[in-house]
Amino acid sequence: MKKRVEVGIDTAVLARNYGKIAARTAPARVLCVLKADAYGIGVGAYAKTLAAAGCDMFGVAEPFEAVELQAALGGSQGPDVQILSSVLPDEIEPMVERGVILPVCGIEEAKSISAAAARLGTVAKVHFKIDTGMGRLGILAAEAESVVRAVRALPGLDCEGIFSHLAMAYDPGDPFTSRQIDVFKKLVAGLAAGGINFKKIHIAASDAINNFPETFKPPFNVVRTGINLHGSFDPNGLRSLDLENALTLKTRIAQVRELPAGTTLGYGRTWCLSEKTRVATICAGYADGLPLALSNKGHVLVNGKRCKILGRISMDYATIDVSEAPEAKAGDEVTCFGRDGEENITPDDWAAIKGTHAYDIICSLGSRRGARKASTGS
């Protein structure tokens, strides 16, 4: 039985997007961020495609994601898997055992990682996470030099990296980003002057790659990217990279009816037909990731034609005007976003209508009916 709602990834587009990011930021290396199950799409297909495209560094937010990602990449002997945010005391030993690269957010955490490495008779790779202004996690920049020195004195640690995260990089005109970059560069330079060097130095995520090219020039030699892999961007800022949307959300038509003028559609009766109209009810609603904000505003594609969403989107269904696609019938495919013929709708288009960013749209794609475990195709 064909799924009623399906998220798809075009793996060829995904690989091309990765290649474009890598080409733009070279010789810096690209760390692909596949946290939250690759932003809710399903980490397996992403990991395999990106590894085949040449990526050998992957990042996640937490240990459960690290375990799943490592399995998708062929185990602990595969490409590097790195936790970018935090690790809790009871999570440290299992992560060290699996060879997951860990963030160091403070001296106590580093001591626990060192102790776990000693118990396991191994060496744990770590990256210092420096808070230069994000205000979320990490070692405060003012304390970083002494913490780094103290941690490097601990046994069982390979302190291969140092990184930070930018709070305002979506806005190319905001001076806060330059201040964060300066603070970080001064720290790295000060440590280097004292003979402390790192194999991997990184601060850029997708926004900085597009808006702040200095974040992929020395001393930086790694960039992290998540949303750009999907072909999406922050709604603010530049789109310096020429990327393609890799995602599709498809559903099917449940029923087509010709409704008379004066008919009101759906909850709240927010749309009233001004004339006789062919209306199709589609098998996707807000439980499947169609933002309520698209009610009476958004479009979907049927047979390559843009069809306006009429009435309020409900949990499982939405109603659309198929006057431009009069041949549409029950069971036919509907492209909620993605390409159909000459027409193309992207998660970024939906984000603009909702007044949000593409992360919100992509991460909200529903999990019902197995839709969230994406199929792949190209």
Ligand X SMILES: Cc1ncc(COP(=O)(O)O)c(C=O)c1O
Q: Which two tokens stand for residue 145?
A: 């030099």
Rounded to whole angstroms, the Cα distance separating 90 from 80 reads 22
Helical (H) or strand (E) element with 188 = helix 175-193
Tokens 């690290």 label which residue? 66
Cβ closest to ligand X, residue 211 vs residue 281: 211
Rounded to whole angstroms, the Cα distance separating 103 from 159 reads 10
CB of 55 to ligand X, least distance (A): 14
CB of 120 to ligand X, least distance (A): 26
Q: Which two tokens stand for residue 95?
A: 């992560």
Rounded to whole angstroms, the Cα distance separating 195 from 128 reads 16
Count CB atoms within 10 A of the CB of residue 56. 14
CB of 209 to ligand X, least distance (A): 8
Cβ closest to ligand X, residue 84 vs residue 279: 84
Name the DSSP letter for residue 163.
Answer: E
Rounded to whole angstroms, the Cα distance separating 283 from 331 reads 9
Closest C-alpha among 164, 160, 69, 155 to residue 113: 155
Contact indicator for 122, 115 with CB cutoff of 8 Å: no
Q: Which residue is at the shortest CB distance from ligand X?
A: 226
Cβ closest to ligand X, residue 233 vs residue 350: 233
CB of 112 to ligand X, least distance (A): 21
CB of 228 to ligand X, least distance (A): 6
CB of 322 to ligand X, least distance (A): 36
Cβ closest to ligand X, residue 41 vs residue 227: 227
Cβ closest to ligand X, residue 79 vs residue 226: 226
Site for ligand X, rule CB under 6 A: 33, 84, 165, 205-207, 224-228
C-alpha separations of 260 from 213, 220, 264, 276, 330 in Å: 57, 63, 10, 4, 20
Catalytic residue positions?
35, 267
Cβ closest to ligand X, residue 130 vs residue 345: 130
CB of 357 to ligand X, least distance (A): 9
Cβ closest to ligand X, residue 57 vs residue 205: 205
Tokens 């409900």 label which residue? 314
Residues 6+ apart with CB under 8 A from 283: 4, 5, 251, 252, 253, 254, 316, 317
Rounded to whole angstroms, the Cα distance separating 348 from 122 reads 45
Cβ closest to ligand X, residue 62 vs residue 324: 62
Rounded to whole angstroms, the Cα distance separating 133 from 164 reads 9
Closest C-alpha among 148, 138, 155 to residue 187: 148
CB of 179 to ligand X, least distance (A): 18
DSSP for 253-292, written as a single string: EEEEEEE-TT-EETGGG-EE-SS-EEEEEES--GGGT--G
